[in-house]
Each structure stands twice: as C-alpha cells, then as structure tokens.
Structure 1
Amino acid sequence: MATAIQPYLTFEGNCEEAFNFYKSVFGKEFTYIGRFADMPPLEGQPAISPEYSNRIMHVALPINNDFMLFGSDNMEGSCGGPDLVIGNNISLSLQIETKEEADRVFGALSKGGTVGVPMGDTFWNAYFGMFTDRFGINWMINVEQNTDKK
C-alpha cells in the first residue's frame, strides 16, 4: 500500500527560484536537489543540451514531518512526461513500500491511460514509473530501494 502521496510540481525553467521561495516560507532545507547535468545518458535519448543542463531534475523540500513537496523543471519532449501546459504541471507522487505493490498500483491506475515511463530501476536507486491516467491525472510511482539515502 502507498505510504505517502505528495504533490510534484513542474516548472518551465524557474523551479530553483520557486523552491528557494518555498524554502524561505517554510524554513526548511532541501533533502535533495539535482540537476539534469547530473543524469547519466538515457538510452535512445539525445544528450542533455546546455540549455537544460543546469535546470532542476528533482528537488525535495520537507514541509513538516509527514509532508514533502517535490519539483522539477520541464525538459520539453523528453523524460516521458507530458509537455508542460500551465494547469497540468502537477503530478501525484505515490511512495510505495514494495516493487510488487508498485507494479499492481501502476498497472491498475494506468489502465486506459498513457504510460510515459514504465516501472523500472533508476540511477537514483529507486523503482519508478510515470503515467497519465484515463482521466488526465499525472501520476508518479516510486519505491525507495535504499532508505538510508534520499
């Protein structure tokens, strides 16, 4: 079963500015911030262009002990996500405890929808997938494989 559901915000190049603002409001520190330049090359995808390399790939900001706010910049036409349109720039991110449960939830929720990233192991040591369900809601499914590292 999912252990948490968190909002995941997508920005058009100003994620770092937005999250520095949120950080100042909530008085918390990022638990992770990574840039597209930190990503290893994706099979079948072109190299990250200099235009996108310094943009935020993923940032995590705790709001309180139970709630995280996640975000990234959009990288038009890649990484399996939908093209950014203000209004679709939020996804629901499910944190799930096991790969088996993640596969079950992913399969059930994505039925009739559009899979952007099939469930699979990632370079950030998680089991992860993304899709848009048949109702147009964007989802991310994540299983932390090493809870000692965020």
Structure 2
Amino acid sequence: MKSVMPFLMFQDGQAEQAMNYYTSIIEDSSIINIVRYGENEVGDEGTVMNAIFKLKDQEVMCIDSNIAHQFNFTPSFSFYLNCDTEEELRVVYEKLVDGGTELMPLGDYGFSQQFAWINDRFGVSWQINLP
C-alpha cells in the first residue's frame, strides 16, 4: 500500500530518544518498528537506520543520519496537535517546551481557546491547540 507520511532526519543519534520522548507524552502513541545499523554498515552501529512510530493516528518515519548535513529542522514544517482537554494541552506543552524554544507562547490568539508553537529540544516544531 502506498502512503504519505512525515519523515524526520535526526543527527547525532537522537532518533530513538526523540521517538521514546514523543510517544511517552502524546496519548495513543507507540513505536511500531525500529531497524538499527549493524556492525560494519554505513551508519554507527546501533543507531536508527529506519523507524516508524505513531502519534495518535499519524505514522511518522525517522532515521539517524549517517551523514553530517548543514541543515536541520525548520518551523516551516510542524506537527499540529489538537488536544481534547486543557489538561492534555498543558501536559504536552510543558514537556515539549522543556529544553525547547517558544515561537508563540501558550495563549488565546482568538482562533482557539489555547494555542502554542514550540521548537522542542530536538529542534522539531509543534503547534499545540485546544479548539
């Protein structure tokens, strides 16, 4: 079956750490599959060659890049998470902002009850919303 899914390329071997972090703070999320580099392969042994994880109903693919790139994540691509309750929004917000950067602090911007835009500790951008 063909599909389209977000793809995250992590540097410095952070893919598994990020997957574990995201699936621990977002309800109904899980790691589906991890394929690791083995001995004498092009990537560092034990790092993520390819992985798929699920955030609610959205599957996401990620890797640990074995090549040093001059670019990283940008806020022009972000995950947009609609939360069901204010408590869910606050828990996710507090965890994602820890070690990250607020692009738009948590507040009422007129288009929803509460909204925040954050770059997390891995540099991935998140828009968190309570409709």
Fold-level similarity (TM above 0.5): no
Tell me which structure has the larger Cα radius of gyration: 2
User: Bigger relative contact order, structure 1 or 2, given CA contacts below 8 A and separation 6+?
Assistant: 1
What TM-score comes out, normalization by structure 2 length?
A: 0.43
